[in-house]
Structure 1
Amino acid sequence: MFDTCHEAIDRLAAVNRPGQFAVMENAINHLVACPAVTQLLIRGSFARGTSDRLSDVDLVVGVAPSAFAEFVNMLDALAVTEFGAIMPGWPDKIVPRMGGLGYVHLIEADGKLHQLDLYVAPSDRIDDITASTHGHIIYTTPHAKHETSDPAVAQFVTDHLATPPTCEQLIVEALVLGWMIHKRIARGQKFMAYAETHMLHTAARSLIRTALSPRTVFYGWYHLDTDIGATPIGRSCLRELEVLITSPPTPTVASLKNSIERILALAQRAAPDAVSPLRLSIDAYLHHLDLG
Structure 2
Amino acid sequence: MRNLDALMSSVVGTLLPSWRDTIVGNMGGAGFVHLLPHDGHLLQRDLYLCPTSAVGALRRRIVPRLLWQGPGADDLAGADVQRRTAQELARATQTPVDCGHLLVQAMVLHAMLRKCLARGRQYIAYGLLHDLNATCRDVIRTALVPHSRHQAN
TM range (shorter): 0.7 to 0.9
Work out whether 1:126 is the aligned partner of 2:55.
Answer: yes
Match of 2:104 in 1: 172
Aligned residue among 83, 90, 108 for 1:158? 90
User: In 2, are the aligned partners of 1:84 and 1:109 still within 8 Å (CA)?
Assistant: no
- Listed as ranges, the matches of 1:220-259 within 5 Å are 220=152
Q: CA deviation at 1:209?
A: 1.6
Q: CA RMSD for the aligned pairs?
A: 1.9
Q: Cα distance 1:142–1:91, how it changes in 2: closer, same or farther (>3 A)?
A: closer
TM-score normalised per structure 2: 0.87
User: In 1, are the aligned partners of 2:141 and 2:151 still within 8 Å (CA)?
Assistant: no
Work out whether 1:193 is the aligned partner of 2:125.
Answer: yes
TM-score normalised per structure 1: 0.48
User: In 1, are the aligned partners of 2:51 and 2:85 still within 8 Å (CA)?
Assistant: yes
Aligned residue among 97, 108, 116 for 2:26? 97
Query: What amino acid does structure 2 have at the position aligned with 1:93?
Result: T
Aligned residue for 1:132, secondary structure, equals helix
Q: CA deviation at 1:132?
A: 1.3
- Listed as ranges, the matches of 1:1-292 within 5 Å are 72-135=1-64, 137=66, 143-148=72-77, 150-220=82-152
Q: CA deviation at 1:158?
A: 1.1
Aligned residue for 2:50, secondary structure, equals strand
Q: Structure 1 or 2: larger helix share?
A: 1
Q: CA deviation at 1:160?
A: 1.3
User: 1:164 and 1:89 mapped to 2: Cα distance?
Assistant: 15
Q: Cα distance 1:134–1:95, how it changes in 2: closer, same or farther (>3 A)?
A: same
Q: CA deviation at 1:124?
A: 1.1
Aligned residue for 2:4, secondary structure, equals helix
Q: Which runs of 5+ in 1 are unaligned?
A: 1-71, 221-292
> Which structure would you say has the larger Rg?
1
Same amino acid, percent of matched pairs: 36
Q: CA deviation at 1:219?
A: 4.5
What CA deviation, in whole Å up to 9, does each residue of 1:31-56 have, x standing for no partner? xxxxxxxxxxxxxxxxxxxxxxxxxx
